Structure 1
Amino acid sequence: MLIVEQAPNCQTLRVPVVKVFDGDGFLTKIEFPRHRETAEMTVRFGFIDAPEIGQLGGVEARDFLTSIIGGKSVDLVILTKMDTGGIVDKYGRIVAVPFLPGKSIPSPWVARATLPRNIELEMVVNGWAWVLDRYCPDEIYNHALRDAQQHQRGIWARDDNIHPWEYKKQRYRAKRQKAHRPEQPTLFHHASLREYCPSACGGREVIRSGKFGNFVGCSNFPNCRHSRKISNTVQSPVQTL
């Protein structure tokens, strides 16, 4: 694992990591002293995009992030949304860049303090995230991305990975196609079938297959022998009994 030490260039807010959702977000608790209450909020990373859980590398990216910050506290550089001017996006998530605080390493001579670690850059350079160019991050992000691609780390070890936003588009298109797909006729949903058997046996009419082709029978067969021909104006369904 590659570590990226980088000090934040502005004031930060220290928060605990309650749960890691995926490779670019986690749940935290923020205290509001004025209201004397604590609220759970989701933090969304500002300049990177990790694979979705359902796509290639999604689970691995989440596990990698968990290994870095899981159960720890991080310092957030909170970003302001350019479109709204607020610190949360349309989903109510805080948009921020997380830093793992530095620590003092004792030695026989003098204690050495390590710099904070930029978690976004570590996700990118280790091959578990893309860079969101449209938000104009520092050029070091693109350097980290090219380095991960060149050395085939993480998702870049395979050629069949796709960007998360393209994966979301594919899922959305598939969902719309499924919603507009005409319903296929089934045994119990056919224009020529009655909801109840005319013999009053408690069954219902279904399409059955016999020696001379399809016909309408009863779902209680063989206890009920009701049968009739299928109307010529209605095609027989594919599924038969």
Structure 2
Amino acid sequence: MGDQREIRLTAQVLLALVVAISDGDTITVRPDGGEQLKVRVAEIDAPESRQPFGAASKRSLSDLCFNVRAEIHPQKTDRYGRTVARVTCRGEDASAHQVRSGMAWVFDRYVTDRTLYGLQDDARAAGRGLWGEPKPVPPWEWRKNR
């Protein structure tokens, strides 16, 4: 059944209210007439909660998406059971927003939208967000060292 659900998820766009922000790359949504769904914002990796810029990254995603009706474009289900999706809030792509703001890294391992690299390069050059730090540590390295 997992495969059928994944295929069905990728075939539709969900309109849902964003009811919670867990961190800079994870939200909880409530589709009309449906159960709450945890969504991992695709193609990015944001600082962990206890990592430098973790709180700022969460706030950035919250400012864009919290209590807003979002378009959820599901791609797959991850190993934690979350729906991985591109998310659009207020007409803006959340992945691009977080990267452009310097609040997330492009997640090399999973990226398919190569334009995110240009946004990351611009944020780094401008010293926005985490790029203002001398040596920001990507979340995947931070997690590995914990």
State the SS of the aligned residue for 2:73.
Answer: strand
**Residue 80 (structure 2) aligns with:** 91
| Offset at residue 27 of structure 1 (A) | 1.0
**Residue 51 (structure 1) aligns with:** 47
Which protein shows a greater Rg? 1
| Offset at residue 41 of structure 1 (A) | 1.8
Gaps of 5+ in 2: 1-10
State the SS of the aligned residue for 1:161.
Answer: coil
Runs of 4+ aligned structure 1 residues displaced above 6 Å come to none
| Aligned residue pair count | 136
> Identity across aligned pairs (percent)?
31
What do you get for the CA RMSD once the two structures are aligned?
A: 1.6
Question: Contact 2:14–2:31 at 8 Å: present in 1 too?
Answer: no
| Offset at residue 160 of structure 1 (A) | 3.3
Structure 1 length-normalised TM: 0.54
Gaps of 5+ in 1: 1-9, 33-37, 81-87, 102-115, 172-241
1:2-29, CA deviations, whole angstroms, 9 ceiling, x for partnerless residues? xxxxxxxx95211110010100011112
Structure 2 length-normalised TM: 0.87
* In 1: Cα distance, 2:125 partner to 2:38 partner: 33
* In 1: Cα distance, 2:46 partner to 2:87 partner: 14
Where do residues 56-75 of structure 1 align in structure 2 (5 Å cutoff)? Answer: 56-75=52-71
Letter of the aligned partner of 1:124 in structure 2? V
Question: Contact 2:44–2:111 at 8 Å: present in 1 too?
Answer: no
1:28 counterpart = 2:29? yes
**Residue 100 (structure 1) aligns with:** 89
Letter of the aligned partner of 1:96 in structure 2? A
* In 2: Cα distance, 1:71 partner to 1:21 partner: 13
Identify which of structures 1 and 2 has the higher relative contact order when contacts are C-alpha pairs closer than 8 Å and 6+ apart: 2
